[in-house]
Structure 1
């Protein structure tokens, strides 16, 4: 059994195995073939941050694999408040066969993994988003048929968990990765150093120049302000508006087949309370991606979202059994 709290917990071959296993699970799901390989197990889902895709994916994945999943919201347990993370890890580890954690602190998820005695999975922290990466690179593999040698460019807040994970995972898997962001929103030097150590011949580019999207097979963006981040919203908008994925920027790739990825939720229209508030306050109908680009790329973006289910299923199976292949029928 093995935890998955950051991408570098696994080797390149193990990450590739997770991607292939995800594709296998997707086929089983599409063909309605039962795959209750983990029947009888129970997992805990700790959520300090709200979630749609991560919560739904872990819940359905557990059910499809024959497991029961118990949701533990921030207001429902004492993690870090009246009970230490270590004590919580020992208690939950004695009752559950695995623990998912989605919250703020990378240190907390690593402490859980150290003391729980069962696999722990990082559903997102402020530093890393490893479960998202398996879905993302699974989507790229489905779309292009290969990964090594592809060029992917991330635009926006280059210091957030998605940018960190994309840079490191892309480096590990042999992609050319570009992080395009204002200087003070570029990845920390230690994250860049990890990525550089993992890359072998593939280029890693950190720049504030949006023309660097030229030649990109895929563009990637995320929300401009992460959950729980305390920033001057107007200042952040002014910083990142030049990095918005719109038709003009997409044209700078000089490739008609470039795809766009987004881990969602996306502020691409006014059809949410926050979207309406942004429009009324700042006059913007969209933020990190315009609605016309979002709609053009909707097939791949929602394919990426669905793949959270299949990839999390692969992560659960591989970490709980130690196997990267399914039992023979």
Structure 2
């Protein structure tokens, strides 16, 4: 059996993704009931961060600890990756000492090359092109509140970024309709759209996307590394704020999600995180549970291979 990685959603089948979502809910119940569940005592995760993150570090590190294992935090200052060692060499060495590796970085080719030479499963915790772990948490949150997302309508409002790309893949994998509203020049790259015309529509305005939506999702206007574009983006995205008025165009039970951190008064109105249909805090917590289910899946798949 080939070593399994999780670099994009499509590395797993829809059935496997649904198994992980179901398992995430079971693990969440165990944790909320203070049940000790430690199947991975002695297992060690390497967490390579070339982009910092509160939620990603806390969720993966806490998850491994709850499983009875441990995690090692490695920033670009702590590894030879930041000093020019070939990714292939680093992958061979790091993976020979660990049981699973999580990478949060810039170019998607970095996680692909690392995975190619790794002896253990590799998880993409974010690249410039994809954020599949966040999608696991988002889908888990929707399922918990509204049931299956299959056949539903999701509105992505804002930048055609890595989150948007993973929502495009998610629409294909889970069978929902995705409407994307982005300012001109900030749409998703054509290569992320061309394959998924059957489930994705580019629309002209945030209002068009919101009409009849079952879920509205957004992200910051300027992602990490784009801070110098902040003022330009503020002008371009002025009509793409998610607010109470926009939510009124959607179905009455339409949920609102944001991967955080959020900039109140920019991509969302000041009180949007407190909207009656906002599930942002559940979504954030579910990073822990969804990723634990993912780690369990990958480690168990690797044990089968061995």
> Normalising by the residue count of structure 1, what TM-score does the alignment of the two structures yield?
0.87
* In the alignment, structure 1 residue 74 sits paired with structure 2 residue 76: yes
Moved over 3 A (4+): none
- Distance in 2 (CA, whole Å) between partners of 1:220 and 1:322 is 32
Which residue is 1:265 aligned to? 261
* In the alignment, structure 1 residue 164 sits paired with structure 2 residue 165: yes
Q: Deviations over 1:182-224 (max 9, x none)?
A: 131111111112334xx5xxx4211232222100011000011
Which residue is 2:63 aligned to? 61
Which residue is 2:174 aligned to? 173
Note if contact 1:260-1:297 (Cα within 8 Å) is conserved in structure 2.
no
Note if contact 2:37-2:66 (Cα within 8 Å) is conserved in structure 1.
yes
Moved more, 212-221 or 183-192: 183-192
Q: Matches of residues 16-165 of structure 1 in structure 2 within 5 Å?
A: 16-158=18-160, 160-165=161-166
Q: Deviations over 1:266-308 (max 9, x none)?
A: 011xxxxxxxxxxxxxxxxx10001222212586100000000
Deviation at 1:115, TM superposition (A): 0.4
Note if contact 1:4-1:122 (Cα within 8 Å) is conserved in structure 2.
yes
* In the alignment, structure 1 residue 208 sits paired with structure 2 residue 204: yes
Match for residue 289 of structure 1 among 268, 284, 304: 268
* In the alignment, structure 1 residue 234 sits paired with structure 2 residue 231: yes
Deviation at 1:232, TM superposition (A): 2.9
Q: Deviations over 1:62-120 (max 9, x none)?
A: 01111110000121112153311111101101111111100101101111111011000
Gaps of 5+ in 1: 269-285, 324-329
Q: Deviations over 1:15-34 (max 9, x none)?
A: 11111111111111111111
Which residue is 2:248 aligned to? 251
* In the alignment, structure 1 residue 191 sits paired with structure 2 residue 170: no
- Distance in 2 (CA, whole Å) between partners of 1:151 and 1:95 is 44
Note if contact 1:167-1:179 (Cα within 8 Å) is conserved in structure 2.
no
- Distance in 2 (CA, whole Å) between partners of 1:317 and 1:211 is 40
- Distance in 2 (CA, whole Å) between partners of 1:54 and 1:150 is 28
Mark the CA change 1:303 to 1:230 in structure 2 (over 3 Å): closer, same or farther: closer
- Distance in 2 (CA, whole Å) between partners of 1:123 and 1:177 is 23
Deviation at 1:180, TM superposition (A): 0.8
RMSD, aligned CA: 1.5
- 1:291 match: secondary structure: coil
- Distance in 1 (CA, whole Å) between partners of 2:196 and 2:271 is 33
Deviation at 1:3, TM superposition (A): 0.9
> Normalising by the residue count of structure 2, what TM-score does the alignment of the two structures yield?
0.94
Gaps of 5+ in 2: none
- Distance in 2 (CA, whole Å) between partners of 1:298 and 1:50 is 29
Which residue is 1:278 aligned to? none
Deviation at 1:228, TM superposition (A): 1.1
- 1:148 match: secondary structure: coil
